[in-house]
A = this chain, B = another copy of it.
Amino acid sequence: MKKMKAEELAGILNAKLDGDGDIWIAGIAAPEEAREEDLIYVEAPKHKERAEASRARCAIVAEGMRLRNKTTIAVKQPKLAFVKAAEHLLEEETIARGIHATALIDASAKLGTGVAVGPYAVIEANAVVGVKTQIGAFCFIGRNAQIGDSCRIFPRVTLYADAKLGDRVRVHSGAVIGCDGFGYVYDEGRYRKFPQAGNLEIEDDVEIGSNATIARGSLGRTRIGRGVKLDNMVHVAHNVSIGEHTVIAAQTGISGSCEIGDHVVIGGQVGVADHCRIESGSIVGAQAGIPTGKKIRAGQTVWGTPARPLERFKRQYAFFERLPELAERLKRLEERVK
């Protein structure tokens, strides 16, 4: 945890300070848990009382908001400013320091300067690890895998052979990257495994949640675009392409050969069948199911299984809720007509 004066922080955020700029800030917290030196933030007027009751002496607030007995830093987007403040105040946790004596690194692997590798990690032949990347305990980095600069690979992550990660990629514990896709061909009463011989490219600034699984291409490649964020236990199958800055919430599964655009938002537990196309800027509600080969047009919001435009779903669903009443009215009408 770094320490700075409120005044200095206001300067960094290019924001107006109101109150005592000379107080120290040495952490961040929610209003209820904050100590005096923690920074808090208030986005909506309804949280004003929570903030005023906090022990914190300094708060980031929306422009125009005043807090009793607090130093305030007023900005247009308090939550965003809080995130930026945190980037200055918090130090990233250390995943590994130096190369641990028990790390097994093949002589042919190439490690950049400042790379840290935790205890009992294994790095196989011809792997490449970029400068300042940290690799946690029990990580397995397969043959020819490439990891960019300043990546953070938490303990207990597997990279299968040939997986390729860009810079500043974070991979959380238990994730499996570049595993076999699920492909078989039926042959006289049994399944033969389709070759899983393709590759996987994960671009810069991607974050991958705990216990997520990402398959490499069977032939061709799987691609996770720059800035993509995948939550815990997300499954991405072989030959999927996910565009830039797309976010996918927990336990969602993307089947083989799907194409997902840029800036797509996909809720939790969504199932996307194979060969779907989800265009840029679209939104898929939680637990939706998108059938094989379906196209979601750019900017559309869909929900339900099978997924359809949200407004349409809501309308249909409202009548579903009224089905007992509609059936009753139909019955009465039949009797009357008789």
Q: Which residues of A contact B (CB under 8 A)?
A: 28-30, 32-33, 77, 79-80, 83-84, 86-87, 90, 93, 102, 104, 118-120, 122, 136-138, 140, 143, 154-156, 158, 160-161, 172-174, 176, 179-180, 182, 184-185, 187, 189-195, 197-198, 205, 207, 209-211, 213, 215, 219-221, 227, 229, 231-233, 235, 237, 245, 247, 249-251, 253, 255, 263, 267-269, 271, 273, 286-287, 289, 291, 305-306, 308, 315-317, 319-324, 326-327, 329-330, 333-334, 336-337
Interface pair A316/B320, CB less than 8 Å apart:
yes
**Which of B28, B182, B205, B215 touches A195 (beta carbons < 8 Å)?**
B28
Interface pair B268/A269, CB less than 8 Å apart:
no
Closest 8 pairs between A and B when the two form their complex, measured CB to CB: A319-B323, A30-B219, A86-B195, A176-B210, A158-B173, A140-B155, A213-B232, A182-B231
**Which of B119, B185, B329 touches A330 (beta carbons < 8 Å)?**
B329
Which residue of chain B has the shortest Cβ distance to A219 in the bound complex? B30
Interface pair A232/B215, CB less than 8 Å apart:
yes
Supposing A213-B210, A219-B33, A323-B320 touch, asked if A185 and B79 sit within 8 A by C-beta, the answer is yes
Q: List 13 A-B contacts (CB under 8 A).
A: A30-B220, A83-B193, A90-B197, A122-B137, A122-B138, A138-B138, A158-B210, A182-B229, A191-B245, A233-B235, A235-B250, A267-B273, A269-B269
- In the complex, what residues of B have CB within 8 A of residue A324's CB? 315-316, 319
Supposing A80-B192, A136-B140, A207-B193 touch, asked if A182 and B330 sit within 8 A by C-beta, the answer is no
Interface pair B174/A174, CB less than 8 Å apart:
yes
Identical subunits present: 3
**Which of B189, B263, B268, B319 touches A271 (beta carbons < 8 Å)?**
B268
Interface pair B182/A232, CB less than 8 Å apart:
yes
In angstroms, how far is the closest chain B Cβ from the Cβ of A306?
Answer: 8
**Which of B140, B221, B237 touches A250 (beta carbons < 8 Å)?**
B237
- In the complex, what residues of B have CB within 8 A of residue A287's CB? 271, 289, 305
Interface pair B32/A197, CB less than 8 Å apart:
no
Per the bound structure, the CA–CA distance linking A83 and B320 in Å amounts to: 45
**Which of B219, B306, B323, B330 touches A333 (beta carbons < 8 Å)?**
B330
Which residue of chain B has the shortest Cβ distance to A40 in the bound complex? B219
Interface pair A83/B233, CB less than 8 Å apart:
no
In angstroms, how far is the closest chain B Cβ from the Cβ of A181?
Answer: 9
Interface pair B136/A138, CB less than 8 Å apart:
no
Interface pair B209/A211, CB less than 8 Å apart:
no
**Which of B187, B209, B268 touches A255 (beta carbons < 8 Å)?**
B268
Interface pair B172/A174, CB less than 8 Å apart:
no
- In the complex, what residues of B have CB within 8 A of residue A158's CB? 154-156, 173-174, 210
